[in-house]
Each structure stands twice: as C-alpha cells, then as structure tokens.
Amino acid sequence: MSLSVLLYEDNDILRESIGSMLQLDEHYHLSNSFNNVLLAEKQVIEIKPDIILMDIDMPGRTGIEAVKQIRAMGLTIPIIMLTVFDDTEHVFDAICAGASGYLLKKHLSFKLFDAMHEVLNGGAPMSPSIALMVIASLQKPQQTKSYQLTAREKEILSSLSKGNSYKMMADEFYITIDTVRAHIKKIYEKLQVHSQTEAVSKALKERLV
Amino acid sequence: MYSFYLRIPFLSMKILFSFLLSFLCTIGLAQKADSLKTVLLKTNTDTTRAILLSVLADELTRSNVQEALESARSGLYLSKKISFDRGVFENSFSLAAAFQGQAQFDSAVFYFHFANGVAEKREDLSGQAEVCSSLGHSFMRKSMMDSSRYFLDRGLALAKEAHNYRVEAGIYNNYGNVFLEESNYQKALDYFVQAAKLYENPLADDYGQAMALSNIGNIEYRLGNYDQALDYAWQSMNIAKRKKLDPQIGYAHKLLGRIYRKQKKYDSALIEYKQAQKLYVTLGDVRSAAELLQNIGNIYFDKEQHRDALTNYQQSLKLAKSISVKPLIAYSYSAIGQAYAILKKNDDALVYLDSARNAAKAIGNSYLLMDTYDAMSSVYESKGDYKKALSVHQQLAQLKDSITQSENRQLAEETQAKYELEKKEAQITLLTKDQELKRLALERQRAVQIGSAIALLLVIIIAFLLVNRYRVLNKAKRLAEIEQVRNTIARDLHDDIGSTLSTINIISNLAMRENLNGNNHHLSRIAEQSSKMMESMTDMVWSINPINDSIEKVMVKMKVFAAEILEPKDIAVKFFGEESLNGLLLDAEKQKNLFLIFKEAINNAAKYSEASQVEVTLKQSEGKLMMMVSDNGKGFSEESIKAGNGLINLKSRANTIHAEFKLSSAESKGTRIEVVLPIT
C-alpha cells in the first residue's frame, strides 16, 4: 500500500509538479495539497497523512507555525520542510518546532523520494549551517533549555559544522556512516523532544486560560 | 584731674631751657619765672628770645594768666616780625594753652588752629599732633565730643606717624577723659591704661605714669569704688613723691581729698586738701591754690563749720582776683554768698550773690547763675522780701526754661546732627547696598552669560555629536538598508526563479521518464541547465551575503560541495591548511571567484581525472592565500590543456582577482591547480 502525502506549497506550478512527481512512485500518493496552512490542523486530522511536505514561507501563516500547532496536538507525523536556503534561521526554527527534516527545493527532482525514505526510516540529513546553528543555540549563555547532547554528538555537530560529510566524519571518528547518521538522528530527536514538551505545555496553558 | 594745659616741652631748645631751669624746680614756679625773666633780659638773639617768651608763658599759665598771655603775645609778635616760624608756633601754642587754662576755649581753639597752620607749614608732624591733642581737649571741655574725637583721631594718626609716644600717650589720656565725660568708664579706663603703658614703656615717664594712675583712680572714684580709687591715688602719690613730681603730688592730694570727702571722712579730706594747697602755694600755682581753698571751704561747709568755710572762700577769692581767673572768682563770690546766707548775714550774702550773678553772667556759666539765683531767692525769703524773692525766683525759672530750651535746642541740634549723620549713613548704606546689588546683578549677569556660553557650547557640541552620530548611523543604516534590499531582491528572485527552475527541472525529468524510449537529449539539456542555473543562483545569493565573509565559511562550503560531487564517485577528498586561515576575511568578489575556481577544479576532477583521491589545500602565509587542488588521476598532456575551454575560464577568473594561476599536469601523474591570491 502506498503512503499518503499531504503537500503545502504556495507556488502553484511547483505544487502541481511535485504532485505529478509523486505519481511516479507507487509507494506514495498525494492525498491533498494546499497553497496555505491556515487550516492545517483541521486538514491533518481529517486527511491523516503518512507524511507532510511543507513549504516554509507561505502567505498568512508560516510553515513553522503550522508545524508547532501540529506537534502541539500530539501528532508525530513526519514533516519535511521545503526551502530554497538551508542557511537561514527558518530551517533551524522549523526543526526546533518539530520538523523531521528539510529538503532544498533545487534538489526536489532527484532527492525527494530519498528524503522521504530517510525521514520515514528515522534519519534526516543535516547541513553544516544547521549544525552551526545548533551549536550556537547550545552556547547561548541565557540558554535555559538543555538538549543533553552527549560528547560524541557534540563532536559530530562540530565536525558537521565545518563542512565535513558523513563519510569524512566516519573516517575522522573511525565509525561507520550509519553510526554518524544515528547520532544525527539522535540530535534531531533531542531538539524536537524539547520543542514538543515546550509546545505542549504552552498549548495546555492556552487551553487553561 | 586735667593736666593737659601743662604742656610738656618737646622742642630741643625748649628742653634745653627747661633743663637750665630745672635746678630751680624745687624753688617753685614763681622763682622759675623770675629766673626766666632774668635770662630773657640778658638775651639779645631774637629767635632765642621768642622761644624764651613762650617758655615763660607756659610757666606763668598756672600762676599769672595775664602775664602768661602777655608773654606769649609778645613772643608771637616778635616771631612774626622776624618771620621765625618755630617761634610763631611755640607762642601761638602757649597763648592757646593759656586761654584754655582760663576756660576761654574759643580763643584757645583759634590760637591752636593758628599754631596748627604753622606746624603744617613746617611739616612738623609732632607739632600738629600736639595741637590736635590740645584741640581735642578744648572741645571736650566745650562738651563737643564729636569734634573732640575728630581732633584726637587726627592727632593719634599724626603722633603715630611721627613716632611721638609722648603725644600719643597724651591723646590716650584725652580720649580717656572724653569717655569719662560721657560716663563710659570702661572705655575711659582702657585708654588710661593704654596711656599708662606708654608712659611706662618706652617713655619711662614717671610723671605720665603717675598721672595715668591717678586718672584710673579718678575713674574708680567716679564708679564709686572708693577703696580702689584710694589705692590708685596712693600708688600715684607714691611715684610722684619718690620722683618729687610736685604737680602730680598735688593732684594726688586733690584726688585723695575728693575721695575722702565722698566717704565723709572730712578730716582726712581736709588734711589732703591742705597739703595740696600748701604745695601749690610753694610751687607758685596760685590758681590751684585758690581752687583748693574753695575745696577746703566746701569741706568746712559740709562739716557745718560755716565760718571756717567762709574764711577759706574769702582767701580763695583774694587769690583768684590776684590772678584774674574769672570762673574761680565767680565761684568764690557764690560760695561766700551762700556761706553768709547760712550764717544769716543776709545783706552780706546778697552783696556777694549779686557779684556772683554778674560774674556768672559774664562767663556765661548758667548753672552757677542758677545756683546764685536760688541762693538769692532763699535770702530774700528769709529777709521777708517776698517780692524780690519772687522776682529772683522768676528769673531763676526763666533761666531754667532758657537752659532747658537751650538744652532742648542743643538736644534738638544733636538729634538733628545725629539724624543727618544717620541719614548720611543710611544713604551710604543704601549706596553700598545699591552697589552690592549692582555688583550682584553684574555677577549674576556674568554667571548667566558664562552659563549661556557654556550651554551654547554644549548645545553645539551635542548638536555636532548628534549630527555626526546621525550621519554615521544614517550611513550605516543606509548601508544596511541597501544590503537588506539587495538580499531581499536576491532571495525573492531566487525564491521565485528558484521555484520556477525547480519546476522546470522536475517537469523535464518527468517528461524524460514518460518518454523512456524516445530521444531525451533536449529534455536532459533542459534538466541539466535548470539545475546548473539553480546552483549559480545559490552561489550568487551566497556571495553577496555579508555573513559569509570569512574564508572558513568558504572552506565549509567547499567541503560540502566537494563531498557532494566526489563522494558519489568514490573519490576521497581531504582538506589541508584549515588551521592557518585564522578568520581571514575576503571581499565578496574574491570569495566568489575563488569558490568558482574551486568548483570548476572539483568538477573537472570528478568528470575527467578518474582519480581515487583529491587533496585540497587552503593556506594563508606571508600576506597571500594559496589554494591548491590536486588529484591522483590520469592527468593530461599539454596539447589537451590548450584545447580545454574550462581552463580559459579558470584563468580569467584568477585574473579578475589578481591571483596567480598555475596548472600542472602530466599523463598518469594527476593534475594540480594552484591559485595564489594577494590578501593585503
């Protein structure tokens, strides 16, 4: 059976193209697509997709906001952010808000299925700029949230931020690429777990009020 | 108590004559005067005669006023005739002193002023000081205290300037007397003490000291401290007796007598007065002797021994008449009259009282006149002649009124003077205040001006700083704005075009899949070009982002790119020299071209080298940045190098950033690209 994909993208031609692309792989099918996330929570509950592709910059409400709300409802559906750049705070914010991974739009045509596969199997790539942002957020003196990263995870982050590939890191630390990937997955989880508890407590508060 | 008419000679010549005569001192004034007269007769020099005449006048002042006046007048005449200024001064001074002794203060003042003029002409400070001192005394006797003070102050300043301690001490004495007259005993005491000090040191003048002591005693007497008064009087007496200072002995006797009288120790008083009287007779001081006879008479009167009193009064009158001292004569007449009245010899009483009335009128002594009227009225009353009594009484009342009037007038005048003075002082105060106010206003104005100037300066500085800051901020802001606009445009462009390119890329791929059997050459070119364009756009946007300035960031990007390209082809890539970069900053142009050269080199290595390993070195040293990309691939010959289109591209990029470019390759020996970029 094929997995249902929910797509949010405000560029109409791109949205249609992605939709066409998804038809090429029998493992996936596009259950629905929208050009905004204003009703995202309701749509997610109704459609119950297996994976969500979400543009970051959309009119009215950003993809990051939508991710936060979806995670606040306690839903763990994998969400892949679509972005033109990977060196912006947006991507990092999205990951912290609970996004499972991200995909550069220029790589859509040849990395989309790989990316979905990776995310669904619990691994997502991380670029040096994202790694730098994670490190920066760890070093902030007023940082109250502690991701409780292990020493090795920090080493991986540091190496990653210097532009080293998974392979280079594997060579550097004398581990396999899979282990590198596992570490990175763990880092993602720690970032998200934190942001989820934060989001939940915030949502609870809002409801209580 | 006044000893100021006893002028102390201070001119050398006078002192010489006094010294010549001093051996005669004990003999008495009369003999002294006689000796002087003898010397005068034998002297032919006019100047000496003039001085001698003034000395003689001084000597005669106490014993024979008329003669004294005569002597001084002739001395003055002589001095004027021979234009002998010193003589003029001495004689006019002596003349004034004689008038002062006669209580003829107006005349005294006139001649003192005359003497002063001469002293000024002679630039004789001591002389001027002495004249001032005497004028002060005269005005005191006239009860014109302010004038007295004026001259005493002037005299004091002159005496100090002339370093004439004797005159200075004399002035202190006079000052003491002024305060004494005003019943300011404390001040009086202060001045007498000051005088006493000067007499003791530096003057070592026993006479002055004895006098000062007796003056102090006099004050104590005035204060009613009779025991202390007696003590000082006796101290004065002792000094005077030890040094044989006869006039001072006489004065001490007088003071003692006065004190004893107050203590009602009439017998002791009589003893003192009589001793004094005897002494003055010996000294030839007729006037003092006459005064003392009156005092003795007064004591007898107090003791109600009226006959004895009368005898003394009559003797006093006789002496007073002999030396023509009018006040003394007047008092004597009055005293005799009152004594006769007490003795009920009314007719005799009336005769003397009438004389007393005329004499008092002549000397203008209103108080004595009142006394006389009072006594006359009583006598008429006791005689039963009430009409006369009433008439006299009326005269008395009239006199009283006139005195009161004159006192009132005097008081009014004084008040007027005081008022004028106060007005003047008030005006001065007002003026001073006005000036003070003006000064304050001026100060305030100046403060305001300075304050304004400072404020203005501050405002200018602040304005300058603000403008400067605004300009700097504005510049930075404008730069930031430009930057932001540039970024926004780039990103928007990229977002839009990027999405579109992605779409084209996707669609071309989709088309290729749908058309699996056909010729996909054109479609694959579309997919390739759109992909390449997306890369270029990403690089372009990246290179204009100022955050990517440091060379380390470039290296990160290089690593990512190299791994992305080479790893899928199983070409290992290693980077070197990272630690030497040290946060080096490159401008956007160099950054971009360096990165593009690198990309080209990596792409070439990936496509053509068939290498298993690529090594990248990025190193900073000696102001230069060196980038080397080398592979262990198959390499190529020189000919193929020339043919390559990509190499021309690399060289032109290197030229753009003024970098050296070097390519070396040989078959089976790999390829090496080297770029050396100046960074200073």
CA–CA gap between residue B658 and residue B65 (Å, rounded)? 133
Q: Is A135 exposed, middle or buried (0-12, 13-18, 19+ CB in 10 A)?
A: middle
CA–CA gap between residue B423 and residue B33 (Å, rounded)? 54
Q: What would the pLDDT profile of B291-332 be if each residue is shown by its tens digit?
A: 889 889 989 988 888 888 888 998 899 888 888 778 888 888
Q: Which of A15, A16, A17, A82 to mutate to test the interface with B (most CBs of B within 10 A)?
A: A17
Provide the β-strand partners of residue A33.
Answer: A7
Buried b (16+ CB within 10 A) or exposed e, B41-80: eeeeeeeebbbbbbbbbbbbbbbbbebbbbbbbbbbebbe
Q: Which of A165, A166, A180 to mutate to test the interface with B (most CBs of B within 10 A)?
A: A165
CA–CA gap between residue B127 and residue B133 (Å, rounded)? 10
Q: What would the pLDDT profile of A21-58 be if each residue is shown by its tens digit?
A: 888 888 899 999 999 999 999 999 999 999 999 998 88
Q: Is A209 on the interface with B (CB under 8 A)?
A: no
Which chain A residues touch B527 with a CB distance below 8 Å? 109
Across B215-224, B230-239, B362-371, B384-393, which has the greatest mean pLDDT?
B230-239
* Check: complex ipTM more than 0.90: no
Considering only alpha carbons, which residue of chain B is nearest residue A14? Answer: B503
Mean pLDDT of B237-256: 84
pLDDT-derived band at B227 (thresholds 50, 70, 90) equals confident
Q: What would the pLDDT profile of B385-429 be if each residue is shown by its tens digit?
A: 888 888 888 888 887 777 777 666 666 666 666 666 666 766 777
Q: Is B506 on the interface with A (CB under 8 A)?
A: yes
**DSSP structure string for A13-74:** HHHHHHHHHHTT-TTEEEEEEES--TTHHHHHHHH--SEEEEES--SSS-HHHHHHHHHHTT
Residue B644 has pLDDT above 70, yes or no: no
Q: Contact A106/B509, CB-based, under 8 Å?
A: no
Q: Is B345 on the interface with A (CB under 8 A)?
A: no
What H or E segment, with its residue span, contains residue A141?
none
Q: Contact B501/A106, CB-based, under 8 Å?
A: yes
The strand ranges marked E within B492-623 are 572-576, 613-621
Q: What is the pLDDT of residue B663?
A: 85
Q: What number of other Cβ atoms are within 10 A of residue A198's Cβ? A: 17
Compute chain B's Rg from CA coordinates.
64
The pTM of the full predicted model, rounded to 2 decimals, is: 0.45
Q: Is A10 exposed, middle or buried (0-12, 13-18, 19+ CB in 10 A)?
A: middle
Mean pLDDT of B255-273: 88
DSSP, collapsed to helix, strand or coil, labels residue B400 as helix
Query: Given phi > 0 = left and psi -120 to 50 = alpha, else beta, which region is B613?
Result: beta
Q: Is A76 on the interface with B (CB under 8 A)?
A: no
Residues B231 and B202 sit within 8 Å (Cβ to Cβ): no
Q: Which of residues 31-50 of B touch A (CB under 8 A)?
A: none
Q: What is the pLDDT of residue B629?
A: 92
Nearest to B284 by CA among B315, B319, B257: B319
Q: Is B557 on the interface with A (CB under 8 A)?
A: yes
DSSP B22: H
CA–CA gap between residue A69 and residue A94 (Å, rounded)? 12
What H or E segment, with its residue span, contains residue B264?
none
